[in-house]
Structure 1
């Protein structure tokens, strides 16, 4: 296993332990305790606000994967902690034209923000039925990497040129990304479940830049169900 992947794996194990301790801060009954893996699709959105104006980046499709622990106090209420790895970010494309000494030049600039993050969502759950639950909580995100890939294409008089590159911006990005969330979950009798949640980014990652994201996934519950 590569050193970087090993460190990420070790970090995930430690964070999952923290989530488990947070959930299991009560006397555990095996029939009320569930755990397992989960993974799914994320739609990440960046938004910049300032001076009375706002700008939304194009959304970015990513993924998430990790594990969870759940404790049910009774048939109606429970708590859940998770540790997930999820790349986030957003895309931007701008085009402009300028004329210099009678020559028209067209330029298109594309940027792709790529944020690697571990997430520790902790939520309170309400079980409307035996299979359907609703959750409300906060997602504590830890940004582990951040870079911007860019491509600038210029064309004039039928001749085009392109320049691409990547810039590491981790030192300029806030490490902590807090995102309150609401969601719903449907569990089948065999333990397979499907869930969806919307995470509203409230932390400034870079100046006035915030990151919100939608998650839709699948998982499996081991335990009492």
Structure 2
């Protein structure tokens, strides 16, 4: 009887191990980032900056518990942010306007739970934990005849605004992924920024949301 129970336990353990699967690999892709500025936190006076089109690059690790469920963690870098154009006034001779670009160099750590509809197709939900490493803003004042960079002290044309931006950007996300038999995969996701990135004590709110489309390759597995 003890032998039968032992054999049964070994068989169950073997089934469990065979169902588990670990994969890892690189991924790169395209990102569309936007920022929302709400000076009163009432959504009535909020304005949404225009999208910034950028990239991301990094790696991922996936642990599949069984045929249907798994977890995934990633480490990515992406220069997120947004841009904004403010129309100026017609002074009779020139038309003066202003363009601003915000660049947030962000280290992203997405963690998600995955549900595998088929072996190659899955959906995911989780949260992006973004650490903002650099924060810079470039403003250009333009006209029909000339444009002027609003420069900082080193003359680069960018102003360091890191002191005005909080370091952590938490963004819940949902996404989908399709993987081929050889390990090549394609994914897409949308991350909704919920963290207030503004260090301004006047009560304003700044959030950063972004969409991503990427490709990667998974090593490992059974």
Determine if the TM-score, normalized by the shorter chain, exceeds 0.5: yes
Structure 1 segments, 4+ long, off by >6 Å, are 27-30
Aligned with 1:140 (options 119, 129, 139): 129
Judge conservation of contact 2:20–2:65 (CA < 8 Å) in 1: no
Q: What residue in structure 1 maps to residue 48 of structure 2?
A: 56
Q: CA RMSD in A?
A: 1.9
Q: How far apart, CA to CA, are the structure 2 residues paired with 1:28 and 1:176?
A: 37
Question: Which residue matches 1:218?
Answer: 215
Matches of 1:211 and 1:31 in 2, distance apart? 36
Aligned partner of 1:203 in structure 2 is 195
Is 1:116 paired with 2:113?
A: no
Alpha-carbon separation, structure 2, partners of 1:95 and 1:117: 29
Find the aligned partners of 1:28 and 1:114 in 2 and give their Cα distance.
45
Gaps of 5+ in 1: 1-26
Aligned residue number for residue 8 of structure 1: none
TM-score of the two chains, using structure 2 as the length reference: 0.82
Q: TM-score, normalised by structure 1?
A: 0.80
Once the two structures are TM-superposed, the CA of residue 104 in structure 1 deviates from its matched residue by 5.2
Partner SS for 2:87: strand
Aligned-pair distance for 1:162? 2.3
User: Which residue matches 1:13?
Assistant: none
Consecutive unaligned residues in structure 2, runs of 5 or more: 1-15, 150-156, 199-203
Which residue does 2:148 correspond to in 1?
163
The number of equivalent residue pairs is 192
Q: 1:53 to 1:195 in 2, by over 3 A?
A: same
SS in 2 for 1:152: strand
Distance 1:95 1:28, change over 3 A: farther
